[in-house]
Amino acid sequence: DAMVIQNPRYQVTQFGKPVTLSCSQTLNHNVMYWYQQKSSQAPKLLFHYYDKDFNNEADTPDNFQSRRPNTSFCFLDIRSPGLGDAAMYLCATSRDGSTSWTDTQYFGPGTRLTVL
């Protein structure tokens, strides 16, 4: 089945130690998204790629970076994790995206990040 895969499902890192979360997709979708979801809060969009075009939300901290080396893979890099970055990180894809947000997004199961 075509799907969105996130590895690992659980990640533990130390305060200030860089960490990378991975997302891959077999849907061949143009758009990939990263969301941060803290406990009892709404998922919050961090950034998205429309093909190779990177789009950062205005309030996404500089500590968060992303890479998309090819259509299938997208990475979330947290350069210096703080305790406040502990959250569930959700990856999603959509087929087109264009200039309107009407497309269905397909989500992975998420990676839960713990910062010690």
Partner 1 sequence: AQSVTQLDSQVPVFEEAPVELRCNYSSSVSVYLFWYVQYPNQGLQLLLKYLSGSTLVKGINGFEAEFNKSQTSFHLRKPSVHISDTAEYFCAVSRNTGNQFYFGTGTSLTVIP
Interacting residue ranges for partner 1, rule: CB under 8 A: 4, 33, 35, 40-45, 48, 55, 57, 90, 92, 99-102, 104-110
- As a whole number of angstroms, the distance between CA 99 and CA 31 comes to 11
Cβ-based nearer residue to partner 1, 53 or 77: 53
How many Å apart are CA 49 and CA 58, to the nearest integer?
15
Shortest distance, position 88 Cβ to partner 1, whole Å: 10
Count of CB atoms within 10 A of residue 12's CB?
12
10-13 vs 111-115, strand pairing mode: parallel
Q: How far is the CB of 101 from partner 1 (least distance, A)?
A: 3
In the complex, minimum distance from the CB of residue 25 to partner 1, in angstroms, rounded to a whole number:
11
